[in-house]
Amino acid sequence: MNVINEAGILAISTRLHRLSEQLRKDGAMIYKAFGIDFELKWFPVIFTIYKKETASVVEIANEIGYTHPSTITLLKELEKLKILEWKKDINDERKRLFLLTAKGIELVEKMKPVWELVAIVLSEIADNENNLLKAIDEAEEKIANQSFYQRAMQIKNSK
């Protein structure tokens, strides 16, 4: 056990970051092993549009939990690669709705077996996927209701 692991809950952010980086690195290698040229940062946008079929910038940003500017950056990148395109919303001409292009649909079809494999492997790694996901859901919900910072300041000010 190293010092970070010994720090317990104090190092939760570091440990989650470390785990996330390892999953990203291995995830990229898995896509490459399937012959798919794919950057993991694209996943939340592509998956959201795949599931919703069309979505505005605001809808995508809300779904994936990214800022509006970060979402736009990813959308522009995917648009430039011809994976996504947009059309005007028939109800509001100022609003752009993003959708997968034929190339994007083809990419998703290639990625579906990878997603199935990844789900199996992550379930094995997590031992019981539902416990890990439940813990993450609970933590995200608590932080959405009152941030880590707000909680810390509340305790500090009550002393």
Question: CA-CA distance, 130 to 53, in Å (whole number)?
Answer: 27
Given this model, what pLDDT does residue 90 score? 86
Rounded mean pLDDT of 4-20? 87
pLDDT digits (tens, 9 = 90+) for 47-98: 999 999 999 999 999 999 999 999 999 999 999 999 999 999 888 888 899 9
Given this model, what pLDDT does residue 154 score? 92
Rounded mean pLDDT of 132-157? 90
What is the rounded average pLDDT for all residues in the chain? 91
Question: CA-CA distance, 111 to 32, in Å (whole number)?
Answer: 11
Question: CA-CA distance, 75 to 68, in Å (whole number)?
Answer: 10
Confidence of residue 130 (pLDDT cuts 50, 70, 90): low
What is the DSSP code (8-state) at residue 74? H
SS3 string, 92-139, reads CCCCEEEEECHHHHHHHHHHHHHHHHHHHHHHHHCCCHHHHHHHHHHH
Given this model, what pLDDT does residue 128 score? 60
Whether 38 and 58 have beta carbons less than 8 Å apart is answered as no
Span of 103-107, 132-136, 144-148 with lowest mean pLDDT: 132-136
Q: How many CA atoms lie within 13 A of 57 on its CB side?
A: 17
